[in-house]
Amino acid sequence: MNNTRRIINFETCDSTNDRLKELMKGGAVDGTVVTADVQTNGRGRVSRRWRTDSRDSIAMSVGFRAENLYSRGITEKGLPCITLLAAISVTDAIYHVLRMARDDTPVHIKWPNDIVINGRKVCGILTENILTDDHHFIIVGIGINVRHMDFPPDIADIAGNIEDEAGVMIDRDALIVSVAEELDRYIDLFAKTSDMSELKRHYNERLINMDRIVRVESQDEDFTGVSMGIDDTGALMVKRKSDSGESFVTKVSFGEVSVRGVYGYV
């Protein structure tokens, strides 16, 4: 556990990832957390914007120096899996605050890093690998919808918030602390092997896509198959059939890939 962690909150900032990047360059310790009540220019996957307008949601970023992750036992090849570790961490943290509210609503992961309750996305995660001549940081940006929000029309049918979906009030600040603590814990567990071999079962138990028909969309090809969960590298294994009817497995890696349910978001 990182007992020297700092949590720094801004009433307003453009991007918690960008603000934390500057703090890390200035010597902020590993595990420093930046949060914002209002975030005006946050980023999501595939260059989407993530705006936070009030304390009804959480905009937070957690930073690590690559050399310190290496010293903990994580290899460069294992760095992309931090995105998956963040997904498990957020899921467990939400479970923790829901238990505090005496609620046991199921919380799932949509591969690789969306958090889903009742089929609605309540959290998105963007991990940035920042490499310059002088610095190498891993910044994990996390956006969580805590309570009622007005969602843009293009995502209104898939987005939700924890309190509405679970039907209970939760402690926003306790959730921030729990996410940071869980992420640090899972990084330590991951560092023992620097792959997902010891954690893939835990991840797959939370995977809403597990054993479901999914559609994979990428720049190279689109195809449909059955999700079989992740492998040791964190890739999603999808069982599909060739034109001749033979079954084979395609491993879908991180990147500009969309994995959706055939009949909707999940």
Which DSSP string corresponds to 96-138?
HHHHHTT-----EEETTTEEEETTEEEEEEEEEEEE-SS-EEE
What amino acid occupies position 71? Answer: S
**How many CB atoms sit inside 10 A of residue 200's CB?**
19
Cis peptide before 80 (omega within 30 of 0): no
* Local confidence band at 47 (pLDDT 50, 70, 90 cut-offs): very low
Least confident of 107-116, 142-151, 204-213: 142-151
pLDDT at 198: 96
State how far the Cα of 163 lies from the Cα of 57, in Å rounded to an integer: 11
Q: What are phi and psi of 107, to 5 degrees?
A: -125, 130
pLDDT in tens, 112-170: 999 999 999 999 999 999 998 889 999 999 999 999 778 888 888 999 999 999 999 99
The pLDDT of residue 58 is 95
Regarding pTM above 0.75, the answer is yes
